[in-house]
Amino acid sequence: MKISIALTKGRVEKQFLQYVKTRGFEVGPLIDKGRKLLVETDEFICIFVKGVDVATYVEYGICDIGIVGEDILAEDQPDVFDLMPLPFGKCRFALCGKPESIRHNRKRRIATKYPHVTQRFFREKGESVDIVKLEGSVELAPIVGLADAIVDIVETGNTLRENGLVVIENIQPITSRLIANRSALKLKKDAIQPFIQKLQGEEILK
């Protein structure tokens, strides 16, 4: 029985394929897929989708497992089983802004692609903020005065530096994660368990 995998297109896809290759899986057809969105090998059926859609394919049972950033899981909180962290895609959520914005004395407006994460963060701090949802280039918001600060992903810190912003507070570390459809974990256990064992080198499913 083949395992179906939903894979985040782009950088995570390349890192995952390199990772599984080092674990002894045959990934040639997945690396040489061109513009195909669904590729079948002797072991896998693999689909290539945007990160925000990975958990949807897994939650609906189209794919048994998925590889997705923890940022997306934290924001969308899909009904999937979070199996394990993967050793790539490491970055962090942080509150960032102009150096002079660290001190503030009024209700702040926060721009972010992650409104739920931002809401939870400020609720736990007991601070009321206005949240502006953006889809990208979030670092621009404090520069042009759309927001007082941002909650975003920081990986190398280059985007912050090049736009004159600093980390005001780290929120949480993030990594890529292996998720699974809850039913598939039981129904396709005989296929999924050896796959995870080969990835991990130890038994994790009972």
- Length of the chain in residues, anyone? 206
Q: How far is the CB of 140 from ligand PRP (least distance, A)?
A: 9
Does residue 156 interact with ligand PRP by CB under 6 A? Answer: yes
Member of 24, 34, 126, 136 binding ligand PRP (CB under 6 A): 136
Does residue 115 interact with ligand PRP by CB under 6 A? Answer: no
Q: How far is the CB of 7 from ligand PRP (least distance, A)?
A: 17
The nearer residue to ligand PRP, 151 or 199, going by C-beta atoms, is 151
Q: What is the DSSP string of 107-142?
A: PPEEEES-HHHHHHHHHHHT---EEEE-SS-TTHHH
CB atoms within 10 A of CB 166: 15
Member of 154, 165, 196, 199 binding ligand PRP (CB under 6 A): 154
Does residue 152 interact with ligand PRP by CB under 6 A? Answer: yes
Place of tokens 């396709």: 188
Does residue 153 interact with ligand PRP by CB under 6 A? Answer: yes
Q: Are 57 and 4 in contact (CB under 8 A)?
A: no
Buried b (16+ CB within 10 A) or exposed e, 77-100: ebebeebeebeebebbbbbbbeee
Q: How far is the CB of 92 from ligand PRP (least distance, A)?
A: 9
Does residue 137 interact with ligand PRP by CB under 6 A? Answer: yes
